[in-house]
Amino acid sequence: MKLRKAGIATISVLALALTATACGDGGKKDKGGSGSDSSGGSKSIKIGIKYDQPGIGQKAPDGSFAGFDVDVATFVAKELGYSEDQIEFVETPSADRETALKRGDVEFIAASYSINDERDKLVDFAGPYLLAHQDLLVASDSDIKEGTDLNGKKLCSVSGSTSAQNVKKEIAPKAQLKELSTYSECLEGLAGGSIDALTTDDSILAGYASQEQYKGKFKLAGLKLSNENYGIGVKDGNTALKDKINTALEKMVADGAWQKAVDDNFGPAGYKNEPAPKIGNIVK
Ligand code: GLU
């Protein structure tokens, strides 16, 4: 992203710096990494987001990125000393997030990433910065109204997500759960009639339901099946970066940028979000 805008004379210097600090194939060993340096300088920062979740994290065909997580990540990166041109977004599907942080592929992750005890053992979380709830997306004429209606039905979710775990353990253990790698693949199944319901966070489902090609075809059941506290994931033990991100998130709420990001990204889908959470306040 940033290299395109760099002058020719600076390219070789940048390339060296990037090789040393931000290569994506496990080359980065230092704990602090590029993101824990509060002044970005000429370096880049790799940030994990989702690419296929409208309103949350989406890559457009022209290569641009949009969504609430994108705005949160951009705000945080700026507070860490990186300009927009220095941000390199990387796709981090649900099942890959812990590994991506562990390997150092990305400095931090803002990708509808719920804080929970299991994940907290593997990574550290700043935040939370949003409280969402698990819900169902079904065809407009579906008679699925409650979680228990899913038993015996074909339900789709994503491997490595809290949504799939909740279905298996609590909501509808007898549902025929299909776990794919992305929610957009589930959405295709729902649109084509091969699955009866898609389950994940209401913040994500609202974005899908409002897409032009699906208008009037789907509805959200309106259930609050769980509390999903979105955090920003960092490498396990990187407390310095986590603290800086928490300071940035507090600033984002205090100066109105958080509310603007909510209005810009959730407004079009009509998603009614919960108020900004307090840092460290995880709703169980
Ligand atoms: N927020 C939930 C999770 O972290 C569901 C959305 C997702 O898969 O990103 O698993």
Asked if residue 60 and residue 187 are part of one domain, the reply reads no
pLDDT at 38 exceeding the cut of 80: no
Ligand 1 atom closest to Cα of residue 113: 4
56 part of a folded domain: yes
Nearest residue by C-alpha to atom 8 in ligand 1: 161
Helices (H), the chain: 8-21, 68-79, 97-103, 117-120, 162-166, 183-192, 202-209, 239-254, 257-266
Give residue-wise pLDDT tens across range 73-128: 999 999 999 999 999 999 999 999 999 999 999 999 999 999 999 999 999 999 99
Nearest residue by C-alpha to atom 10 in ligand 1: 161
Residues with CB under 6 A from ligand 1: 94, 111-114, 158, 161-163, 200-201, 228
Torsion sign (Cα): 125, 87, 32, 101 = positive
pLDDT at 7 exceeding the cut of 90: no
Q: Which residue has the higher pLDDT, 137 or 36?
A: 137
Domain, as residue range, for 174: 134-220
Asked if residue 189 and residue 141 are part of one domain, the reply reads yes
Ligand 1 binding pocket mutation candidate from 51, 113, 158 (most atoms within 8 A of CB): 113
The per-residue pLDDT for 278 is 98
pLDDT at 210 exceeding the cut of 50: yes
Asked if residue 209 and residue 70 are part of one domain, the reply reads no
Report how many domains make up the chain: 2
Instruction: Name the β-bridge partners of 47.
Output: 89, 108
pLDDT at 139 exceeding the cut of 80: yes
275 part of a folded domain: no
Asked if residue 147 and residue 96 are part of one domain, the reply reads no
Work out the average pLDDT over 136-158. Answer: 96
Asked if residue 203 and residue 93 are part of one domain, the reply reads no
**Which of 165, 147, 140, 144 has its CA nearest to residue 228?**
165
Coil, helix or strand at residue 65:
strand
Give residue-wise pLDDT tens across range 228-282: 999 999 999 999 999 999 999 999 999 999 999 999 999 999 999 999 999 999 9
On the 0-12 / 13-18 / 19+ scale of CB atoms within 10 A, 43 is buried
Which domain CATH number covers 83? 3.40.190.10
pTM: 0.86
pLDDT at 5 exceeding the cut of 60: no
Asked if residue 59 and residue 183 are part of one domain, the reply reads no
Are 277 and 128 in contact by the 8 Å Cβ rule? The answer is: yes
Q: Which helix (H) or strand (E) holds 283?
A: none
The per-residue pLDDT for 40 is 58
Q: How far is the CA of 204 from the centre of ligand 1 (A)?
A: 9
Residue owning tokens 């299991």: 118
Q: How far is the CA of 280 from the centre of ligand 1 (A)?
A: 19
Ligand 1 binding pocket mutation candidate from 123, 125, 135, 162 (most atoms within 8 A of CB): 162
Asked if residue 256 and residue 116 are part of one domain, the reply reads yes
8 part of a folded domain: no
